[in-house]
Amino acid sequence: MKYYLINLLVLLVCSITAFGQSKGHTDFNKDWKFYKGEVKDGQSPTLDDNKWRTVQIPHDWAIEGPFSVEYNARCGGLPFHGEGWYRKSFTLTNTQKGKNIGIEFEGVMKNSEVWINGHYLGKRPFGYLGFEYDLTPYIKQEGENIVAVKAKPEDLSSRWYPGAGIYRKVWLNVHEDIRIAHWGTFVKANDVSSKVANIDIKLEIQNYTETDKVVSIAQSIINEEGETVKVLNQKAIAEGSTISINEQSFNLIRPQLWTLENPHLYQLVTELKDVDGNILDHYITKFGVRDIKFTPNDGFFLNGKRTEMKGVCLHHDLGPLGTAVNKRATVRQLEIMKEMGVNAIRTSHNPPSREQLEACDVMGILVLDEAFDEWGIQKIENGYHTVYEEWHESDLRDMIRRDRNHPSIIMWSIGNEIREQKVKDGWKVAQHLGQICHEEDPSRPNTAGFNQYENSIKNKLAHHVDIVGFNYKAAKYKEIKENYPEWIVYGSETESITSSRGVYHAPFLEKYEKNTDHQVTGYDIIGPIWSYPPDMEFKFLEENPSILGEFMWTGFDYLGEPTPYGGRDNSTNGYWNDDWPNKSSFFGPVDLCGFKKDRFYLYQSQWTNAPMVHLLPHWNWKGFEGQEIPVFAYTNAEEVELFLNGKSLGKKVKGVDKGIVPVKFMYYEGPTDFPSPYRLRWDVPYEKGELKAVAYSNGQVVGEEIIKTTSKAKTIELTADRKVISSEDGEDLVFVTARALDAEGNFCATFNGQIQFSVNGDGTFEATGNGDPSSLVLPNSKKLKFFNGMALVIARANQGDGGTITISASGKGLKKAVIAVETKADVKNFN
């Protein structure tokens, strides 16, 4: 395989929304009319939609429920398929009249069709990519205009919960006769160093008139301190009725590099002017300067520094919010991942939201941007294979053109576990898609995630990607590198262990397939046949340092695919309802609400340096008196001492005193009782009281954790993720965690009583959740049960000058709790 030693600079065209694009790029998300169901002539301007619901975009109609087996537990048991209509009326302002008007959708799930004033504009089957339509030929300069959108997601079209409707943002784009084309900038460089970066800018200029026009291009580079560090001026010809390409190069002296620790972003401000000096378009592009290098022997380098990929796969839903994109919810997910030690994400298994990429740019997180879960061969009845032939090229090109300037993105993935692996000529498809990637962006490598180890090699698909991703093949890393030393390899999906937060079953370390309570033990040993505990990936990566790193499946639980309940990955082609009410995954070290499971701390113990120690399980085992309970400590310290009711049970040294965990998975031939150097284990005869772990490094105490046997729950503790949030745009959210405590203030880790929330003041109720994969309480309910002592409420700030949101929680036998969160218009909602 031809491999790449890639040195590049990527500059960010950070979305045309949050960071600005042209002066006529305006919010078009409020006051849409919505109707769920079939509508005759729903596109007609004369249709009476007064009785339709008014909704704000982004909107996911399916998260409103109800949960039902008829909607397929594999896809979250929610009504995502069927037909839904959206309509919005608007009139042009005086400044918009006579201009070129376009409408831009960042994503509609799926099979969308769009009309303006009854005129058909087009369709887009794929739900994960944005698109723009020209409204100009049909727009009314005076009076009311009607935009109509039909979405028609199909049953058996997704292997997880896809959401439904206009779930990403919408924009009205107002342009002069000459503009910078949609996704019309691309900036890259070679020979990047801390001294100089040689930068190439490609600018696409669209001329709507039939006449060639002379334009001037004025560009400025501005750093984060607001200083202008480079100015460029030139003239160009904008050819009539087409898109003209303008290219230029320059040296950026002493660039501030985009790093994981300091992800510096510049702005490229571009102005197009006519011969009289009138501004035709004003376009702001944020970008970052960095050098990446992939090697077959030494791994991945960012700005010359070897960087192991400590990655997770993430689906696109936001738990209780469904798939309706929200910036704060997206950032919160990534904040939790960074706390675990994550430095990379894989957008499984489709193009991500703009908000996620912007957040990764700002927060310093690497991205593997993925296009498809299917090519031309079917996984599920109505999957992407039904439109692959007609749409794959435009979809892949659009993904790259949309995303190519984000500095966080380091690879393009052309597919995940595609069925062409088992076809003799499957390599031809991989080669074709890879060529598209090279044409659109020669600065980054392409990749794919292969789960069929033998077939992907035998049928040469692995030979026709730049970087080879293998799913769940850690035990084969050594063999792969011995046979193909020139390949650049990484774990594109790893681990796949399942667990429920706070659940521990007896017998404690038994590897079972299912349990009668529809949960999975939190000891992190249970998974499908291809899966293995995190310990095994840690082991094989240490033994094979040329591997780039891993992307663990998955960072968060997600709606759908409730393995091991109801089905097994794509081995069935239909419904996963045998174990209803299970309707969401168990794979994450973090649950649907963002609450941390024990596995979070196992990863944190390997991926972070700030001293930490974590104990499991809980210590409420009435009826188990005198029986041995396996107690594990996860730490990045040198050693841990365990105490039970003040009595030392001895110190254990990490890496020396190994905790035995049961292991059995495909391709693994080692001991089934694996002595893990990553876990410390004590078998402790149960007696109620206090269990305490004390961590030491260099003989000094660096951390401790205490868990206690608790009495009856008496109070509720409320904690907000932020004390002050933004009221600027009415989009910011606050996430408030409720924990059940006993009379002494100890966390009641097994309490499952009811709780009810209320939201008052300068905010509105948004959603609730508890992280229970088998709960059928809808997120729009203010009343639910604690799940192992925890529950979540989400509130949205009202748009305006600001004020106070008051959130309260109550439950039978529990003292009411109240928390206040301040809202301010001058607080940005990105942090």
CATH no. for 30-168: 2.60.120.260
Q: Return the SS3 of 390.
A: helix
What confidence tier does 234 reach under pLDDT thresholds 50, 70, 90? very high
Which residue from 91, 104, 271, 90 is spatially nearest to 176, judged by alpha carbons?
A: 271
Average pLDDT over residues 381-397: 97
What count of Cα atoms within 13 Å lies in the side-chain half-sphere of residue 709? 13
Distance from C-alpha of 19 to C-alpha of 270, rounded to nearest angstrom: 13
Is the distance from CB of 174 to CB of 103 less than 8 angstroms? no
Catalytic residue among 106, 358, 417, 731: 417
Rg (CA), the chain: 27
Question: Catalytic site residue 247?
Answer: no
CATH no. for 9-18+178-287: 2.60.40.10
3-state secondary structure 317-363: CCHHHCCCCCHHHHHHHHHHHHHHCCCEEEECCCCCCHHHHHHHHHH
As a whole number, the mean pLDDT across the chain is 94
- The residue extents of the domains of the chain are 9-18+178-287, 30-168, 292-557, 613-708, 713-824
Q: CATH class for domain 613-708? A: mainly beta
Strand (E) positions, 209-278? 213-222, 228-238, 242-253, 266-273
Q: Residue 9: what pLDDT?
A: 31
Q: What is the pLDDT of residues 113-166, one digit of tens each?
A: 999 999 999 999 999 999 999 999 999 999 999 999 999 999 999 999 999 999
Q: Over 70: is that where the pLDDT of 20 sits?
A: no
Structure tokens, 110: 């799926």
What confidence tier does 22 reach under pLDDT thresholds 50, 70, 90? low
Q: Residue 826: what pLDDT?
A: 87
- Measured CA distances, 8 to 192, 320, 637 (Å): 7, 39, 37
pTM, rounded to two decimals: 0.96
Report how far Cα 238 is from the mean position of its chain's Cα atoms: 39
Catalytic residue among 271, 370, 493, 728: 493
Report how far Cα 536 is from the mean position of its chain's Cα atoms: 25
Q: What is the pLDDT of residues 291-344, one digit of tens each?
A: 999 999 999 999 999 999 999 999 999 999 999 999 999 999 999 999 999 999
Distance from C-alpha of 149 to C-alpha of 86, rounded to nearest angstrom: 5
Q: What is the pLDDT of residues 785-811, one digit of tens each?
A: 999 999 999 999 999 999 999 999 999
Is the distance from CB of 287 to CB of 405 less than 8 angstroms? yes
Average pLDDT over residues 648-659: 97
Q: Return the SS3 of 607.
A: helix
Average pLDDT over residues 361-379: 97
Average pLDDT over residues 587-593: 98
Q: Over 70: is that where the pLDDT of 10 sits?
A: no
**φ and ψ at residue 735, rounded to 5 degrees:** -105, 115
Q: What is the pLDDT of residues 247-272, one digit of tens each?
A: 999 999 999 999 999 999 999 999 99
Q: What is the maximum alpha-carbon separation in the chain? A: 89
Bridge partner residues of 102 (DSSP): 134, 173
Q: What is the pLDDT of residues 417-443, one digit of tens each?
A: 999 999 999 999 999 999 999 999 999
Bridge partner residues of 755 (DSSP): 784
Bridge partner residues of 754 (DSSP): 785
CATH no. for 292-557: 3.20.20.80
Q: Residue 3: what pLDDT?
A: 33
What confidence tier does 572 reach under pLDDT thresholds 50, 70, 90? low
What confidence tier does 566 reach under pLDDT thresholds 50, 70, 90? confident
Which residue from 151, 86, 156 is spatially nearest to 124, judged by alpha carbons?
A: 151
Q: What is the pLDDT of residues 177-198, one digit of tens each?
A: 999 999 999 989 789 999 999 9
Contacts of residue 538, Cβ cutoff 8 Å, sequence gap at least 6:
606, 678
Q: Residue 1: what pLDDT?
A: 39
Average pLDDT over residues 550-573: 86
Q: What is the pLDDT of residues 682-739, one digit of tens each?
A: 999 999 999 999 999 999 999 999 999 999 999 999 999 999 999 999 999 999 999 9
| CATH architecture designation of domain 713-824 | Sandwich (2.60)
Question: Catalytic site residue 537?
Answer: no
Let me know the angle formed at the C-alpha of 690 by 688 and 691, rounded to the nearest 5 degrees.
110
**Segment holding 170, helix H or strand E:** strand 170-175
Same fold, 292-557 and 713-824: no
Instruction: Tell me the percentage of the chain whose pLDDT exceeds 90.
Output: 93
Q: Over 70: is that where the pLDDT of 101 sits?
A: yes
Structure tokens, 636: 């990045």
Is the distance from CB of 320 to CB of 65 less than 8 angstroms? no
Q: Residue 353: what pLDDT?
A: 98
